[in-house]
Amino acid sequence: MAEKLAFAEGTFDGCFGCGTSNRVGLRLVFEREGDDVVSRTSLGREYAGYKDFVHGGIVATMLDEAMGWALFHLAGSYGVTHTLNVRYRRPVLVGREVVVRASIADQDERRYRLRARVEDELGRVLATAEGEWAAVREQRAAGV
Give the domain range for residue 129: 35-141
For 42-76, letters b (16+ CB in 10 Å) and e give ebeeebbeeeebbbeebbbbbbbbbbbbbbbbbee
pLDDT recorded at residue 59: 98
Residue length, the chain? Answer: 144
Domain contains 9: no
CA distance 84 to 105: 14
Residue 19 in any domain: the answer is: no
pLDDT of residue 137: 75
Evaluate whether residue 6 is within a structural domain: no
- Is residue 20, in this structure, part of any structural domain at all? no
For 48-99, the pLDDT digits (tens) are 999 999 999 999 999 999 999 999 989 988 899 999 999 999 999 999 999 9
Q: Count other C-beta atoms under 10 Å from residue 143's C-beta.
A: 5
Instruction: Give pTM, 2 decimals.
Output: 0.88
Q: For residues 5 and 3, what is the distance between their CA atoms, to the nearest angstrom?
A: 6
Greatest pairwise CA separation for the chain in angstroms = 44
Task: Give a yes or no: residue 113 inside a domain.
Answer: yes
C-alpha span between 126 and 39 (Å, rounded): 15
Per-residue pLDDT of 85-94, as tens digits, reads 999 999 999 9
From residue 57, alpha-carbon distances to 4, 54, 127 in Å are: 26, 8, 12
**Based on the structure, what is the number of domains in the chain?**
1
Q: Does residue 70 lie in a domain region?
A: yes
* Residue 2 in this model has a pLDDT that exceeds 90: no
Q: Domain for residue 28, yes or no?
A: no
The sign of the dihedral angle between the CA atoms of 105, 53, 123, 2 is positive
Q: What is the CATH number of the domain that holds 105?
A: 3.10.129.10
With vertex at residue 27, the alpha carbon angle to CA 57 and CA 43, rounded to the nearest 5 degrees, is 55
